[in-house]
Structure 1
Amino acid sequence: MSTPGSAKGRPQTRRFISGVVEGFYGRPWTMDQRTELFKREQKWGLNTYLYAPKDDYKHRMYWRDLYSAEEAEQLIALISAAKQHDVEFIYAISPGLDITFSNPKEAAALKRKLDQVKEFGCRSFSLLFDDIETEMCPADKQAFTSFAHAQVAITNAVYQHLGEPETFLFCPTDYCAVMCTPTVSQSYYLHTVGEQLLPGIDILWTGPKVVSNKISVESIEEVSSVLKRPPVIWDNIHANDYDPQRIFLGPYKDRPTELIPKLRGVLTNPNCEFYPNFVAIHTLATWCKSTSDGGQRDVEMGDEKQDPWYSPEKALTLALTDWLQEFLSADQNGARPKKDSSDEEPMQTDIGESPYVPGPGENPLYTAEPLTLDDLKLLSDLFYLPYEHGQMAKTMLRELDWLKNHSRAAAAETDETAEWCSRAQQFDGMCEAVVQMFNRLSNAPNRSILYDLYNYICDIKSGVGLARAYVKTLGGQCPPSAQLMNDDPEPWGFRGGLSGEFQRMLPCHGNRDLFRHPLMTEVYCMRPYSPEDKVQVQKIFMEMKSAGGGKMPLMMLPPLLCDSLSSGELAPSPQCALILEDEIGVCGYALALTDAQPAAAKTQRAVSAEVLKDFPSLVTIQVLPRVIDSTPAKRMIVRLLSSIKNSGSRGVFCELRQSDRRMLDFYTKLGCFKPITMAGLPEDVVAMGASL
């Protein structure tokens, strides 16, 4: 793909970076596991490995320390193994925890460390400044105009010191859209990085969020424009280091293949557990190969409704089919060996003892059934992706919800009784499938994979067992389960430990549970307002005005200063208008006037100079009722307030009708808006202000 600029006559066409970043928090992978990863990458057509384990002391916490002779020997062997399998080994270092950018000794220590790794045979490097404090020390504040300038200065110096390597990656502190203030396109930090970082240095980016549900072409085009180069995606879709109870075995998805020519590359930062990453890496490889001209694809993947080049479902089936063979292959960790059919006399510890044969009426010998592809599909469904359950998991949750809400039908003789019993039986069958999957998985020959999965499958088996017993109790098929109803249960009868106790005490607990709200799988797009949005904003305004007016006719409602903004009579101030969209369309807006005087004149309402001195700006926000999650609205108002503050305003105010309990509650819970006194307010109208 073409890249802007080249260093030292570098060719304009560079291969697409594709592979794995070991960048999670937790126990790093072993050297043997990394070598196995290189073999898989070569087999599947991936070409890169980024060494960045957060808990390798000398990568992050003690980055100044050189590697010992023993450590050097291991790294040399690892770099050599990567080369042997045609995998580009990128060594990353994270000095941002405590580096003083303006101290020449610090820069020298960083160069000395990377020079040592270069002596090991490494030719590709990365500087990471993620997950660090953004406040500079006094010495750096005197030397640099901003945090971005400090990072760019040392990165450019190290890059040139190393001879401007073919591959050199930089991870910014603001590495996703949600971290950018106020927006990606208006981020001073990103603009500084894009303009001043040398063009041969590539930049890592995680997408809209740290763990992005979807990554759109439009979002990549926006950040590429600011960074002056296409980014390398550091993809956390399969990362699980933030939640020890979750693992992700679903396919690489919700990244259209149209992204490929617009990116410098994609690296997946997957589960902490090595062996369960088979699906994550395998499906990424299928995605990367999907649009290659003349490249060999695994199967024809096209899904015309979603993506003409790639189908996550087909890619998942392909990966699980290959993974099944690994499960069925014995490893060195204690698998029961197959009987040797050779003529050699087997070694026996009990000479002359014949194999045990159960007698009449005794239990037959236990025979483990082999694991099946359907078992692995069920496993993937139960541990799918961060924002989405697999199809079977969603079905089980919905069925349990229905059975719980219609439990009276189980006891009463009604037309619904037969349906309840039928659905309860189907739910029991699904629970049994989970139990059988667990049994077959537990007896699979490859113990290394099993041991990485065991805690997770034990947990889901137990949870499904509790739900199964509960449904049987509702149907009167068995007495109440002691695990469910006992006042003094065993510790395995409940989940969460101290963390669960804290969460249950917080008001937000359970806001993503199926039984309190619908599954929160919506993805919202926040973008700047354009004149074409005027009609949709007016439509939302009228709908919410009707809902907030109670029984009073619309024409009888007292006018608000912000009505002229929402109705389109006044245009919002530049950079002070945002639109919220979901999969259906426009679902909310946030508009502001940095100077509220035009709105006061339009409404023919006198606003005291004292109020305008402290709160010169006017803001309004509305979202449709279908936006159940309050987070998108909160993010809109935060970005809007940031833009207003950048304009030089010292405060904002809003007007609300007392009958609009929804928006009153929203502004109150923000915490920064407080009731203010304004003379001449119509009856039933309140004013709230926030200092900036």
Structure 2
Amino acid sequence: MEKMEDDSPGTENVTPETSEQVFLSGVIEGFYNRPWTTEQRLDLLDKLAKYKMNSYLYAPKDDLKHRSEWRQLYSQEECSQLKQLITACRERNIIFFYGISPGLDMVYSDPDEYKLLLSKTKQIQELGCDSFAILWDDIEPELSKQDAKHFDSFGHAHCQISNNLYDDLTPQEFLFCPVEYCARRADPSLQESEYLLTIGKQLNTNIRVFWTGTHVVSPTISLQHIQSLTKVIKRKPIIWDNLHANDYDLQRVYLGPYIGRERSIPPKEYLSGCMTNPNCEYSLNLPALVTLADWVNNPSWDKTGMSSHKLAVREMLAETRVPGPGAAHYLNTRKTCDEDDLTEADMDLIFQIFWLPHSYGPKVKKLLEAFKFCKDHAEVMIGWKKIKPGDQPDVVDAWIDGATYVNNFSKKLFQVMDKLTHITNREMLYDLSGYLNNTRTILSGCNSYLKWIGISECKKAFRGAPTLAGLPGGLAGELARLYPIQSEEKMPLNNMVTPLDQSLLILPVIRRSQQQLDLIKKAFPENKDLEECTEAANHPNCELFILKQKSGQKFQIVGCVFSLRTSSSSISNGDNIDAKKNEKVGLVEKLENILSCKSMQKYKVFITIFLSTKESEYLSTEMLNELLETLAEPEEPILVATKQSNSFQHRILQLCGYEVLNSKENAIVSKTFPNSQFFTRSAKEAN
């Protein structure tokens, strides 16, 4: 078969834009899941008009005749529903786009295949539709052997089919979604992609090109990134924004504000449009609509998104008080009354729980930080009720504050969920309840665990699981717990994860190894106390250990332990030390001067510990006891120095049987080390 003739405008000579393009803003129904109903779509069109947006793209992935059965014409009933939407759009000055996605199995070089595509779109055009979108996303980016005989490249095939369809339909607007629709999928890169460069050279410039940003779901989309794309595709792109899409993770829904997109200049100056592909659950998409409209239309848009967020909260709250589309399907047997009404604060809490893919609302961020702190520092609560009032360490106070925040948040969520059952909009209730119940169940389990630690003091075995059947999630939950990456901090992953990852090694520093000492200084820059310890490390009475944790295929230094054993020849000189004179000598001499004092001679070993900011991950009572056993005999009194501000180390030392140095002895050491807190284990306590 001969190559298909390619007379379409844009293949050899790109046709210039003939008029100023309208900036498109609105909604794409383009997710993988149950398509919206006609009632919901009509309601959506009212909202688009209300919020001054002008576009709706019909492209539900699970409408068979949109994608997998794209050759099949619509039935009379289906045509009637589509025509209703097309008419409703026209009445509201909204552009109705019909999207078709033939790329799963289209034979590009077969004229009969193109005729079927044209016939299908002509059927929609006869219903009154004058704008179309051809979508080549989420397909295998390779030509078949048959097509490779007729097209130079995949991009060439897509451009020719799209240009031909544009010419034959002569639409008002025409959209094109490339197979490489984000920088992450551009091969080998955005600037060097043959596919995207072909679009720039061959695709009619009156056809707008969709783009999702750096990723399928982009945390941010910068002006510089869009400018780089524009140079390649020779036109301003239209953003297909998946910021609020949840079809890839149905344990999540997104109610946060539209943020992370460039607004230092008006969007129309660098884009041809921006449309959101939002949550599958129709009733939960007001936040996406309201905040996108604010970004598009508000010259004073707040880049933090909080002003948009407040607008969305108010709009969503009002929506709870109306039946919503499809209300006839639900029976509301509960009468709302004033005390049952949700407030803006209640709706704000719901929004903050379900914020955005890459971030959480401020209140939820605080909740996560509070629970992580309490989980990581749980040991400090051992025996805390026995501590005298006023003597309670700061870290215990911080733990109680964190646990209280978690408890109050949990109680508030229970109250909000009870109020939610009273709302008039039952569809919204049912769409939200599954997500909220899942969150409430896990949060309740976390709260119970903290109560078991703080109130029950772990006296009885903890048997409470988050769900009635144990851990949540079934197979998905089990796989999630087995998944090797358990934190965003680990991304991107450069090496395989092994069972030994997160293991901690305690290794001696080789004497006179300048390389190791330099690595320690690099791990703890500008730490003068540690610098003194490293300078003293080669002294025969000193030992220096490093703590290393596995990270990928490498171990990183996360801590150091320095120890000094006093020489047997130490001579008592009373308890008087010349502090100024002591400042001028090295660390070893300073310590030997102190430990030779009459009151201090009983201490045979001096130890100080330096840990990174994540010290709760490395220090525990078990680890400290094991460490100290390697540095001193059980009967030897030990002197341990810590920073005055390090409440966590203080508490762990206390739990290991160490006490704060008495006032007389502290007066001796504080002259030389004014910023340190000293703990001791006497010979009696050691036994």
Using the size of structure 2 for normalisation, the TM-score is 0.66
> CA separation in 2, counterparts of 1:465 and 1:12?
59
State the shift of 1:406 in Å.
Answer: 2.3
* Aligned residue in 2 for 1:361: none
Task: Describe the shift of the 1:338–1:422 C-alpha distance in structure 2 as closer, same or farther (beyond 3 A).
Answer: closer
> CA separation in 1, counterparts of 2:23 and 2:14?
18
Q: In the alignment, is residue 275 of structure 1 matched against residue 283 of structure 2?
A: yes
> CA separation in 1, counterparts of 2:41 and 2:460?
46
Choose the corresponding residue for 1:406, options 369, 377, 380: 377
Task: Describe the shift of the 1:214–1:422 C-alpha distance in structure 2 as closer, same or farther (beyond 3 A).
Answer: closer
State the shift of 1:101 in Å.
Answer: 0.3
Q: What SS does structure 2 have at the residue aligned with 1:402? A: helix
State the shift of 1:435 in Å.
Answer: 1.3
> CA separation in 2, counterparts of 1:126 and 1:374?
41
Choose the corresponding residue for 2:200, options 188, 194, 199: 194
Choose the corresponding residue for 1:120, options 102, 107, 127: 127
Task: Describe the shift of the 1:458–1:149 C-alpha distance in structure 2 as closer, same or farther (beyond 3 A).
Answer: same
| Structure 2 stretches lacking a partner, 5+ long | 1-9, 493-511, 520-547, 554-687
> CA separation in 1, counterparts of 2:193 and 2:513?
45
> CA separation in 2, counterparts of 1:38 and 1:229?
28
Choose the corresponding residue for 1:328, options 321, 325, 331: 321
State the shift of 1:85 in Å.
Answer: 1.5
Task: Describe the shift of the 1:150–1:47 C-alpha distance in structure 2 as closer, same or farther (beyond 3 A).
Answer: same
Given residue 190 of structure 2, which amino acid in structure 1 is its aligned partner? V
> CA separation in 1, counterparts of 2:460 and 2:446?
10
* Aligned residue in 1 for 2:674: none
Q: In the alignment, is residue 430 of structure 1 matched against residue 409 of structure 2?
A: yes
> CA separation in 1, counterparts of 2:122 and 2:552?
50
* Aligned residue in 1 for 2:463: 485
Please say if residues 469 and 481 of structure 1, whose CA atoms lie closer than 8 Å, have aligned partners that are also in contact. Answer: no
State the shift of 1:462 in Å.
Answer: 0.9
What is the count of residue pairs matched by the alignment?
A: 481
Q: What SS does structure 2 have at the residue aligned with 1:317? A: helix
Task: Describe the shift of the 1:405–1:12 C-alpha distance in structure 2 as closer, same or farther (beyond 3 A).
Answer: same
* Aligned residue in 2 for 1:17: 24
> CA separation in 1, counterparts of 2:333 and 2:111?
59
Q: In the alignment, is residue 415 of structure 1 matched against residue 393 of structure 2?
A: yes
Task: Describe the shift of the 1:449–1:406 C-alpha distance in structure 2 as closer, same or farther (beyond 3 A).
Answer: same
Write out per-residue CA displacement over residues 94-147 of structure 1, whole angstroms, 9 at most, x where no aligned residue. Answer: 000000000000011100101100001000001100000112111101111111
Task: Describe the shift of the 1:405–1:126 C-alpha distance in structure 2 as closer, same or farther (beyond 3 A).
Answer: same
Task: Describe the shift of the 1:117–1:406 C-alpha distance in structure 2 as closer, same or farther (beyond 3 A).
Answer: same
Please say if residues 470 and 481 of structure 1, whose CA atoms lie closer than 8 Å, have aligned partners that are also in contact. Answer: no
* Aligned residue in 2 for 1:183: 189
State the shift of 1:441 in Å.
Answer: 1.5
Task: Describe the shift of the 1:166–1:7 C-alpha distance in structure 2 as closer, same or farther (beyond 3 A).
Answer: farther
> CA separation in 2, counterparts of 1:30 and 1:158?
29
Choose the corresponding residue for 1:497, options 457, 461, 474: 474
* Aligned residue in 1 for 2:68: 61
Instruction: Give % identity.
Output: 38
Task: Describe the shift of the 1:174–1:10 C-alpha distance in structure 2 as closer, same or farther (beyond 3 A).
Answer: closer
> CA separation in 2, counterparts of 1:334 and 1:481?
46
Q: What SS does structure 2 have at the residue aligned with 1:126? A: strand
State the shift of 1:503 in Å.
Answer: 3.3
Q: What SS does structure 2 have at the residue aligned with 1:143? A: coil
Write out per-residue CA displacement over residues 422-442 of structure 1, whole angstroms, 9 at most, x where no aligned residue. Answer: 432233112211111111112
> CA separation in 2, counterparts of 1:480 and 1:15?
69
Q: What SS does structure 2 have at the residue aligned with 1:133? A: coil
* Aligned residue in 1 for 2:215: 209
Please say if residues 335 and 422 of structure 2, whose CA atoms lie closer than 8 Å, have aligned partners that are also in contact. Answer: no
State the shift of 1:13 in Å.
Answer: 1.7
The structure whose Rg is larger is 2
State the shift of 1:9 in Å.
Answer: 9.9
Structure-to-structure mapping, 1:307-326, within 5 angstroms: 307=303, 311-326=304-319
Please say if residues 72 and 120 of structure 2, whose CA atoms lie closer than 8 Å, have aligned partners that are also in contact. Answer: yes
Larger displacement relative to structure 2 (178-187 or 112-121): 178-187
> CA separation in 1, counterparts of 2:18 and 2:103?
32
Structure-to-structure mapping, 1:174-573, within 5 angstroms: 174-257=180-263, 258=265, 259-291=267-299, 301-303=300-302, 307=303, 311-330=304-323, 332=327, 333-336=330-333, 369-410=340-381, 411-412=383-384, 413=387, 414-416=392-394, 417-477=396-456, 485=463, 491-508=468-485, 510-512=486-488, 517=489, 551=513
Task: Describe the shift of the 1:480–1:217 C-alpha distance in structure 2 as closer, same or farther (beyond 3 A).
Answer: farther
Q: What SS does structure 1 have at the residue aligned with 2:340? A: coil
Please say if residues 328 and 371 of structure 1, whose CA atoms lie closer than 8 Å, have aligned partners that are also in contact. Answer: no
> CA separation in 2, counterparts of 1:553 and 1:277?
57
Choose the corresponding residue for 1:110, options 107, 117, 122: 117
Q: What SS does structure 1 have at the residue aligned with 2:451? A: helix
Q: What SS does structure 1 have at the residue aligned with 2:248? A: coil
Task: Describe the shift of the 1:137–1:247 C-alpha distance in structure 2 as closer, same or farther (beyond 3 A).
Answer: same
State the shift of 1:181 in Å.
Answer: 1.7
Choose the corresponding residue for 1:34, options 38, 41, 49: 41
Given residue 457 of structure 1, which amino acid in structure 2 is its aligned partner? L
| Structure 1 stretches lacking a partner, 5+ long | 292-300, 340-365, 523-549, 558-624, 631-692
Task: Describe the shift of the 1:368–1:330 C-alpha distance in structure 2 as closer, same or farther (beyond 3 A).
Answer: farther
> CA separation in 1, counterparts of 2:350 and 2:338?
22
> CA separation in 1, counterparts of 2:459 and 2:159?
64
Given residue 453 of structure 1, which amino acid in structure 2 is its aligned partner? L
Larger displacement relative to structure 2 (282-291 or 272-281): 282-291
Write out per-residue CA displacement over residues 488-512 of structure 1, whole angstroms, 9 at most, x where no aligned residue. Answer: x85454212112223333433x133
> CA separation in 2, counterparts of 1:119 and 1:74?
14
Please say if residues 330 and 336 of structure 1, whose CA atoms lie closer than 8 Å, have aligned partners that are also in contact. Answer: no
> CA separation in 1, counterparts of 2:312 and 2:342?
15
Given residue 277 of structure 2, which amino acid in structure 1 is its aligned partner? N
Write out per-residue CA displacement over residues 626-654 of structure 1, whole angstroms, 9 at most, x where no aligned residue. Answer: xx999xxxxxxxxxxxxxxxxxxxxxxxx
Please say if residues 355 and 361 of structure 2, whose CA atoms lie closer than 8 Å, have aligned partners that are also in contact. Answer: yes
Please say if residues 20 and 50 of structure 1, whose CA atoms lie closer than 8 Å, have aligned partners that are also in contact. Answer: yes
Please say if residues 16 and 265 of structure 1, whose CA atoms lie closer than 8 Å, have aligned partners that are also in contact. Answer: yes
State the shift of 1:385 in Å.
Answer: 0.2
Q: What SS does structure 2 have at the residue aligned with 1:59? A: coil
State the shift of 1:478 in Å.
Answer: 8.2
Write out per-residue CA displacement over residues 3-25 of structure 1, whole angstroms, 9 at most, x where no aligned residue. Answer: x9999997522220000000000
Please say if residues 330 and 337 of structure 1, whose CA atoms lie closer than 8 Å, have aligned partners that are also in contact. Answer: no
State the shift of 1:330 in Å.
Answer: 4.2
State the shift of 1:453 in Å.
Answer: 0.8
Write out per-residue CA displacement over residues 632-679 of structure 1, whole angstroms, 9 at most, x where no aligned residue. Answer: xxxxxxxxxxxxxxxxxxxxxxxxxxxxxxxxxxxxxxxxxxxxxxxx
> CA separation in 1, counterparts of 2:118 and 2:552?
47
> CA separation in 2, counterparts of 1:314 and 1:629?
41
Using the size of structure 1 for normalisation, the TM-score is 0.65
> CA separation in 2, counterparts of 1:212 and 1:287?
16
Given residue 185 of structure 1, which amino acid in structure 2 is its aligned partner? Q
Q: What SS does structure 2 have at the residue aligned with 1:132? A: coil
Given residue 81 of structure 1, which amino acid in structure 2 is its aligned partner? A
> CA separation in 2, counterparts of 1:367 and 1:459?
27
> CA separation in 2, counterparts of 1:43 and 1:503?
41
Write out per-residue CA displacement over residues 248-270 of structure 1, whole angstroms, 9 at most, x where no aligned residue. Answer: 00000011222431000001000
Please say if residues 445 and 464 of structure 2, whose CA atoms lie closer than 8 Å, have aligned partners that are also in contact. Answer: no
State the shift of 1:477 in Å.
Answer: 4.2
State the shift of 1:338 in Å.
Answer: 6.1
* Aligned residue in 1 for 2:626: none
Task: Describe the shift of the 1:29–1:480 C-alpha distance in structure 2 as closer, same or farther (beyond 3 A).
Answer: farther
Given residue 332 of structure 2, which amino acid in structure 1 is its aligned partner? A
State the shift of 1:376 in Å.
Answer: 0.9
> CA separation in 2, counterparts of 1:265 and 1:228?
15
